[in-house]
């Protein structure tokens, strides 16, 4: 007798139908989650993102420079605005104080038998002071050097005659005086003593003449306290070393004498020169304003820089062949540098102190003198007219000392 199954026999069609419906439930759950996400989560996320963006914008517009009071509580002390907007506003504010400077020289007209003024060069300048009906402009010495007349061109192209009060070749600074009736703005003086490498710098001037007047270039402070040799008489030997600010803000011919300003619109330097070599880009140089201000004041007051002097014609010892150090000057082997005397002015302070031709000065007041520039820097930057200075020197191999009372140059 066979086995008998009391249950219903299997139905293959019903089993396949159940398998076909298994995907429906997960799909419905997924749709429900999607509807909830679209309806609830995304709007909340968007609202949060919008709030965050507003907060970021607010933080950018009002950047908290935080410091602490005595209790350790953080307090907000300064407000920083958007940099690009600030630069635009700064340039608009400072530009009227930056002028063009035209060097005019007289030239003879053979046919008309008269002299005419011709443009010998152009540069830039900065209006730094107005007093009564007179405005004062600082520019570079090399911009107005040799000029018979000088003309100042305001930012609105108004030309005004100017007088040269004084100039100085060593600092490459000059001061002009003109009528102030058309002057709209005087630059705000800043400080170059606290500038930092990497901070923004803006140069304003007239590159390539008045065609590009009031040109603005932007960069950063690339270096501070740079030292650049200066050859005034073009004899291939350095006569001085200028201490300058380095910037990559473009400074081109015609920018000389223009303004280097910081992000707050304050004057921090007088643009002076650039490194002009084929393999070099973006090295502009500016006279630090902290160094320039005393020179400007003396030029304005006296019309010239009156410096202490010894009364000698000197040259750097390294310009003399090494064989002559021993054979002619009789210097010991341990002497590494100095300034040798080529001539002595009669009745000068050096002459009265007994300095002679071919003496080699190695110290002033115990400060080493390795070359002519060292000697000038000590005299011009550390000493005053009338000071008593101890001079240490070699004469025919013997180390000697004398005291010189500095005169005025």
Buried b (16+ CB within 10 A) or exposed e, 274-299: beeeeeeeebbbbbbbbbbbebbebb
Is the predicted pLDDT of residue 220 greater than 70, yes or no? yes
Mean pLDDT of all residues in 6-16:
42
Q: Is 256 a catalytic residue?
A: yes
Contact between 312 and 348 (Cβ < 8 Å):
yes
| Dihedral sign, Cα of residue 191, residue 192, residue 193, residue 194 | positive
User: Would you place residue 13 in the very low, low, confident or very high pLDDT band (cuts 50, 70, 90)?
Assistant: very low
Tell me, what DSSP letter sits at residue 212?
Answer: G
Tens digits of residue pLDDT in 270-300? 999 877 666 566 788 999 999 999 999 999 9
Q: Is 142 a catalytic residue?
A: yes
Tens digits of residue pLDDT in 310-365? 999 999 998 888 888 988 999 999 999 999 999 999 999 999 999 999 999 999 99
User: What is the C-alpha separation between 379 and 387, in angstroms, rounded?
Assistant: 10
Q: Is 366 a catalytic residue?
A: no
User: Of 124, 192, 214, 256, which is the active-site residue?
Assistant: 256
Q: What is the pLDDT, as a whole number, of residue 348?
A: 94
Domains of the chain and any CATH numbers: 96-179 (2.40.10.10), 190-302 (2.40.10.10), 308-408 (2.30.42.10)
User: Of 124, 141, 142, 180, which is the active-site residue?
Assistant: 142
User: Of 124, 167, 172, 374, which is the active-site residue?
Assistant: 172
Contact between 93 and 104 (Cβ < 8 Å):
no
Q: What is the pLDDT, as a whole number, of residue 292?
A: 95
């Amino acid at each position: 007798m066979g086995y008998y199954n009391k249950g219903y026999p299997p139905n293959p069609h019903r089993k396949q139908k159940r398998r076909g419906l298994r995907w429906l439930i997960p799909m419905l759950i997924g749709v429900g989650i999607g509807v909830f996400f679209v309806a609830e989560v995304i709007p909340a996320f968007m609202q949060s993102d919008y709030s965050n963006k507003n907060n970021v914008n607010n933080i950018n517009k009002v950047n908290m420079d935080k410091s602490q009071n005595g209790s350790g509580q953080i307090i907000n002390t300064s407000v920083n605005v958007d940099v690009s907007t600030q630069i635009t506003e700064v340039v608009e504010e400072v530009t009227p104080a930056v002028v063009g400077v035209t060097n005019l020289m007289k030239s003879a007209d053979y046919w008309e038998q008269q002299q005419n003024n011709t443009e010998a060069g152009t540069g830039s300048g900065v209006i730094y002071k107005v007093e009564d009906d007179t405005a004062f402009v600082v520019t570079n010495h090399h911009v107005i050097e040799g000029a018979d007349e000088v003309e100042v061109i305001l930012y609105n192209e108004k030309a005004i005659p100017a007088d040269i009060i004084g100039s100085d070749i060593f600092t490459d600074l000059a001061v002009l005086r003109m009528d102030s009736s058309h002057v709209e703005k005087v630059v705000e003086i800043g400080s170059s003593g606290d500038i930092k490498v990497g901070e923004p710098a803006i140069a304003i001037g007239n590159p390539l003449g008045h065609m590009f007047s009031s040109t603005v270039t932007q960069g950063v402070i690339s270096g501070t306290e740079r030292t650049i040799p200066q050859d005034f008489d073009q004899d291939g030997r350095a006569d001085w070393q200028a201490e300058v600010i380095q910037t990559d803000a473009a400074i081109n011919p015609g920018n000389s004498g223009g303004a280097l300003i910081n992000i707050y619109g304050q004057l921090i330097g007088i643009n002076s020169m650039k490194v002009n070599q084929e393999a070099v880009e973006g090295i502009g140089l500016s006279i630090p304003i902290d160094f320039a201000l005393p020179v400007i004041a003396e030029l304005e007051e006296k019309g010239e820089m009156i410096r202490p002097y010894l009364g000698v014609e000197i040259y750097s010892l390294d310009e003399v062949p090494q064989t002559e150090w021993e054979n002619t000057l009789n210097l010991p082997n341990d002497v590494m540098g100095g300034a040798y005397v080529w001539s002595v002015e009669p009745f000068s302070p050096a002459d009265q102190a007994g300095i002679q031709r071919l003496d080699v000065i190695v110290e002033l007041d115990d400060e080493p003198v390795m070359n002519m520039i060292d000697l000038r820097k000590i005299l011009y930057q550390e000493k005053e007219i009338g000071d008593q200075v101890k001079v240490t020197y070699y004469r025919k191999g013997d180390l000697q000392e004398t005291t010189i009372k500095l005169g005025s140059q």
